[in-house]
Structures are given as C-alpha cells and as structure tokens.
Amino acid sequence: MRAPGLTWFRLPLFIWSMYATSLVIVLGTPVIAITLLLVAAERLLHLGIFDPRLGGDPILFQHLFWFYSHPAVYIMILPAMGVISELVAAFARKRIFGYRFVAFASIAIAVLGFLVWGHHMFVTGQSMYAVTIFSIMSMLVGVPSAVKVFNWTATLYEASISYETPMLYALGFIGLFTLGGLTGTMIATLGVDVHLHDTYFIVAHFHYVMVGGTIMAYMGGLHYWWPKISGRLYPGFLSRLSALLVFVGFNLTFFPQFVLGYLGMPRRYWSYPPEFQVLNVLSTAGASILGVGYLLPLFYFTWSIRYGKRASENPWGAVGLEWDTTSPPPTENFPVIPVVTREPYDYTSEEVHRRSTQEAPVVYQVD
Amino acid sequence: MSTRSTEQAAVAIPGGDVGGHHHPSLQHHFDSLAQQKEASTFGMWLFLVTEIMFFGGLFTCYVVYRRAYSEAFVAASHSLDWKLGAFNTAVLILSSLTMALAIWAAQVNRRKQVVFYLIATMFLGTVFLGVKAVEYADKFEHHHVPGPSFEWHEGGHAEPLDGAQSDAPPLEDKFAQHVQIFFSLYFIMTGLHAVHMICGIGVLAALLLPAWRGRYNSEYHNPLECTGLYWHFVDIVWIFLFPLLYLLGAHAT
C-alpha cells in the first residue's frame, strides 16, 4: 500500500515509468498470448489461420506479432528511463527539471507505442495510407522521448555533478539513447526505411536503444541500488573502469554496424564481401571489450557480498523513501510506516543540503 | 519525500483493525475490508482487460477472414444450428441472472440461497457445455472439423487450387479451404470460450463450501463478486460469438 502522503505527484519518476510500463504489459501481452496459441493450434491441430497453404494470411500474423512486439520495446525502455531520472537527480543533486513533463512523457510513450507497429512492416505491401500514418505516429514517439532527454540535460545544467559509477552509466545512457532515438526517426521515414530495411543499420539502431539504453540504465540502477540491496559497497575504481569499458566497447561494436547497414550489408548473414571485413572486425573487437565490461561487475559484486564494506542507510546522500530504511531493508521494508511530506528529488531543501555537505558520502571503500 | 530523521510515525488507519481484532477475511496487507474489496475488484477488472485483449486478437482474425472470405463464411455459418446457439444464449443469460442473485443473497445474508444460486449457475453452465458437446459431435460426424478429414459438399462455387498449393491437404477447391478457415475459427473461439466456462464452473465449485459455512455475508463477499464479474464477462463473449458464428447472412435469406 502507498505510504500516507505519497500522492501521485510525489511519486518517484521510476514509479511513473513503471506505471506506464504496466499499461503496456496489461494491454499488449494478451495479444501475443492468443497469437502463440493460434500458431500452436495451427501446428498441432491443423487449424488454418496464418498458413497460406491453408488459405491463411501470414501478414495477419505479422500484424498481431508486432502489435505486441513493438510496445514490448517500450516495456524495456520505459523502466530504464525511470532509473535514469532517479540517477540524474541523485548525482546532479538537483530537482528533476519539469517533473510533470517527464512523468507524462512516460504515459505518452506508452500510448503512442501502441499506434506504430506498422513501421516494422513498411515492405510487406501495406497500403500507402497505413504506411503514412504509421510513419507519422512513429516520429511522434520522438516528442516525449526528446522531452525526457532535454529535461535530464536541463537538470544537469549548473548542477553539482558527482561522477560516481551509476552516474557514468546514466550519462552514457543519455548519449547512446539519443543516437538510438535519432536513427529511429530516420528509419521511421518510409523512403529511408525501404533502403535500410533488414540491414545492419536496423541492428545498430535497436542495440543503441536496447543496449545503449536499457542495459546501460540496468547497470546504472544496479550500481545505484546495490548497497541498498546487499548492504555492501563495491570497489570504486573497478566499477568506474567497467562503466568506461562498456561505453567504449559498446560504441566500437555497434557504431560500425550503422555504416555496414548503410552500405547495404543485410542482417542474419554470416558472410559478407571483403570490403566489409574491416568494419566487421572492429565490431567483433568491440564486442570483446564489451564482454569484459559486463563480466567485471559480476566479479566485484560477488566479491562485495562477502568482503565489501558495509553500506550505510544512505551512501549517496540521496532522497527517496528507500534511502530512509536500513541497507538491506528489513521485512516489509520499514520498521514504522513513513509519512511522506515532500516532493520527490527535494535536493534543495535545507536538510538535504546539510546532509550532502556535512555528511559527505563515503561510498566506495578505498581501493 | 520523508527523510530519515523527520516525520516517521505510526499511522492509525480509520476503519482498520482496532485493538487487534481482525475480521477473519481481512488479509494482513490491507488496512480495512473496504480497501481490500476495492483492490480485489480493481484487480479483477484488470484481469478482464487482459481477457478482452486476448479475445480481441481472435476477433481481429475473425474480422479479417470474414471480410476476405465472406461468401464461404455465410455458407459455413448456415451449417450451424442457430436454434441450439440461441438456446445456449438463453441458458447463459439465465446463468448470469442466477450469478447476480447469488451475490444479492450474500448481501442480504441469506446463506442457503447463496448456495442454491451457486449450484443453479453451475448447472446452467454445465447445460451450456452439454449442448456444445452435442454440436461438436455433429461437426465430427459431418467432417466439418478442420484437418485431413475435412470435407465440404454443401454449396459454394468450386474454384481449383492453384499450383503453389499442391502440397496442401486434399481439399477440392478454394471455397472449401475458406470454409475450413471458418471452422478453424469456430473451434478456437468456442473452444476457448468453453475452457473459460469450465474454469468458471471450477471456481464456483470452490466457492460452494465456504458459502455453505456462511463465509459470505453483507460484510464480506469479494470472492463472489469477482467470480460474478468473470462469469458475466464469459457470458458477454458468447453474446458476441453467437451472432458472429451462427447468424451470418441471415438477412439474405
């Protein structure tokens, strides 16, 4: 149950984004469930629904599939955006710029996300009108996404930023997601998509959003809440190094794929003409660096569970209910139900100011 | 947001458990019966929303093929017995009434009537399934079940299958193939509906014993109400299925 005083506009933005995500899950997942059931019935019971040999329409399957599977990418990116809002506020020590805009942008993305699935099907011969509408709607998704990026950037403006590991991931997210989003509006354009469809450009685009976006936010969130989850601190230098390796490795892996795709290398083929060799080798090298970047946290998090220094209640000097309870929290989270009297991200209040200056966060143990 | 050192206090919730006396049906994470009821009803509505999207995908398939193969759909629809369908529609509407009466009986504390109406609802649900079984048996008899044994001789113009479809099952013509799609949808739609009916009857059966023991009364009857919402939903699905499957092209004859 919500704590007393925790009104809608006192909710952390992560909760707002989870609310938007839930809408997508509730409305989208049942459609893929019935689609899978129909495919199973077709395979097992010989009921013709999608199989053209039985008079069925495979394009109908694609519609049903993408009706879920496009919103599904918003199921992945919306919580990530919520995490980034938390991290940016905590490490910029500032109230999020335009809280309500960021909150409603999540809802807008969830709603628009249901109206754009046809952009996966530009080359299936759908009508020009459908293509036009799907193209316009897809570009509209860029509006609430840009609202978020601009508001995070505005939050960083004139802030006292501390470059802790979670913040490194958050900054990485903002840059990479912006690239992923901008290439998204490129391929939402019909003429460009016909050229880029099923090429490595698409692979690069969705990895910039899903890995550069979602996974970066996941890693940032994990590093942010790890002391709360485990009650332990992790090594500062190693974790910063891993964030750097992930960023460099990621770009080296996927940026060449934009070029490859634009030059015409198709997806889902292992072989390619010799002129694509250099870019493919760069991509493979990047993947190796990325792998090291991902493996490092596995080691130091495991290490920290046993040997890490014990974390205080609030190692980052952050605001938010979770930082008011012990690390890790007790059963049912709070010994006494807290009463919420303030807006979220209240980093400018006197008390927080005192806490952030006098009780300077001792987060990492000395390496 | 509250901070560590300030504003933490135990909160007395009005209408909550006073002096440690819990209502036996109040779960520990709710403050009051009213809150519990609101949460469970809301949860049930959310579930029904997912059900609507689930059946929605199916109805989308129906709409697409109904438009593409309208003639075959009308011919296939005529082979169904609309009288049995209409009878089943009446049975289901009546079962929705008995379901609503069961909830009403709980609200006015009539324990035996709750049990009676629950049994009546289960009985009507079973009658529906029985009629459905008779109809299904008829389809098997007339080779109207999609698959290798499917046959269609009841009208429609024959149109040869083109070469690309030569490895298709031995269907005489495209028209029969389109009729087969109607029956595919018929079996999936009514089959899924029947599965929902069986689940509903199972849930009603689970409610019987607590109802007999007087667990549901004017103070607490969430399970009855949520089951009622579900039962009405399944009923409404049938209200859509009946005309879509049984009454196609009725205006033409």
pTM for the full predicted model = 0.88
**Percent of chain B beyond pLDDT 90?**
69
> Could you tell me if A59 and A124 are in contact, meaning their C-beta atoms sit under 8 angstroms apart?
yes
**From CA B92, how far away is CA B89, in angstroms rounded?**
5
Give the residue-averaged pLDDT of A326-354.
81
Of the partner residues B8, B53, B165, the one whose CB lies closest to the CB of residue A31: B53
Q: Which of B1, B61, B150 is the best mutation test for A, with the most CBs of A within 10 A?
A: B1
CB distance from A361 to chain B under 8 Å? no
Q: Do A53 and B168 touch (CB under 8 A)?
A: yes
- Cβ-defined contacts of A304-310 (< 8 Å, 24+): A304/A226, A304/A230, A304/A232, A304/A233, A304/A234, A304/A235, A305/A230, A305/A232, A308/A230, A308/A232, A308/A233, A308/A234, A308/A365, A309/A232, A309/A233, A309/A365, A310/A231, A310/A232, A310/A233
Which residues in chain A (301-340) have CB-CB distances under 8 A to chain B?
Answer: 313-314, 319-321, 323-324, 336-340
The whole-chain average pLDDT of chain B stands at: 86
In sequence order, what DSSP letters do the residues of B79-134 get, joined into one string?
TS-HHHHHHHHHHHHHHHHHHHHHHHHHHTT-HHHHHHHHHHHHHHHHHHHHHHHH
Q: Which residue has the tokens 């109904």?
A: B66
Residues A185, A189, A190: CA angle, nearest 5 degrees: 150
CB atoms within 10 A of CB A145: 25
Of the partner residues A1, A3, A56, the one whose CB lies closest to the CB of residue B31: A1
Nearest chain B CA: its distance from A142 CA (Å):
26
Nearest chain A CA: its distance from B118 CA (Å):
29
The whole-chain average pLDDT of chain A stands at: 92
From B164, which residue of chain A is nearest by alpha-carbon distance?
A53
**Percent of chain B beyond pLDDT 70?**
83
From B183, which residue of chain A is nearest by alpha-carbon distance?
A47
- pLDDT band at A53; cut points 50, 70, 90: confident
Which residues in chain A (51-90) have CB-CB distances under 8 A to chain B?
Answer: 52-57, 60, 63-64, 67
Q: What is the pLDDT of residues B228-240, one digit of tens each?
A: 999 999 999 999 9
Q: What is the pLDDT of residues B92-143, one digit of tens each?
A: 999 999 999 999 999 999 999 999 999 999 999 999 999 999 999 999 998 8
pLDDT of residue A361: 47
Comparing A113-117, B165-169, B183-187, the range with the smallest average pLDDT is B165-169
Domain ranges, ordered by start, for chain A: 13-159, 163-311
- pLDDT band at A360; cut points 50, 70, 90: very low
**Residue A177, CB half-sphere, CA atoms under 13 Å: how many?**
28
Q: Which domains does chain B have, with CATH numbers?
A: 52-252 (1.20.120.80)
Question: Cα-flanking dihedrals φ and ψ of residue B167, to 5°?
Answer: -85, 10
pLDDT of residue A353: 55
> Could you tell me if A45 and B192 are in contact, meaning their C-beta atoms sit under 8 angstroms apart?
no
Q: What number of residues does chain A have?
A: 367
pLDDT of residue A233: 95
pLDDT of residue A349: 65
Q: Looking at the predicted structure, is the pLDDT value of residue A316 above 80? A: yes
Q: Do B69 and A55 touch (CB under 8 A)?
A: yes
Of the partner residues A38, A53, A344, the one whose CB lies closest to the CB of residue B1: A344
Q: Do B9 and A314 touch (CB under 8 A)?
A: no
Q: Looking at the predicted structure, is the pLDDT value of residue B11 above 70? A: no
Nearest chain B CA: its distance from A310 CA (Å):
19
Please determine, for the modelled complex, whether the ipTM score is greater than 0.95. no
Question: Greater confidence, B177 or A79?
Answer: A79
pLDDT of residue B155: 64
From B52, which residue of chain A is nearest by alpha-carbon distance?
A30
Q: Which amino acid is at A22?
A: S
Q: What is the pLDDT of residues B53-76, one digit of tens each?
A: 999 999 999 999 999 999 999 999
Which residues in chain A (209-238) have CB-CB distances under 8 A to chain B?
Answer: none
Give the residue-averaged pLDDT of A58-75.
96
Q: Of the spans A31-35, A345-349, B33-37, which averages the highest pLDDT?
A: A31-35
Q: Do A54 and B168 touch (CB under 8 A)?
A: yes
**From CA A171, how far away is CA A163, in angstroms rounded?**
9
Q: Strand locations in chain B, DSSP E?
A: none
Of the partner residues A55, A60, A323, the one whose CB lies closest to the CB of residue B178: A55
pLDDT of residue B158: 56
- pLDDT band at B156; cut points 50, 70, 90: low
Q: Do A27 and B29 touch (CB under 8 A)?
A: no
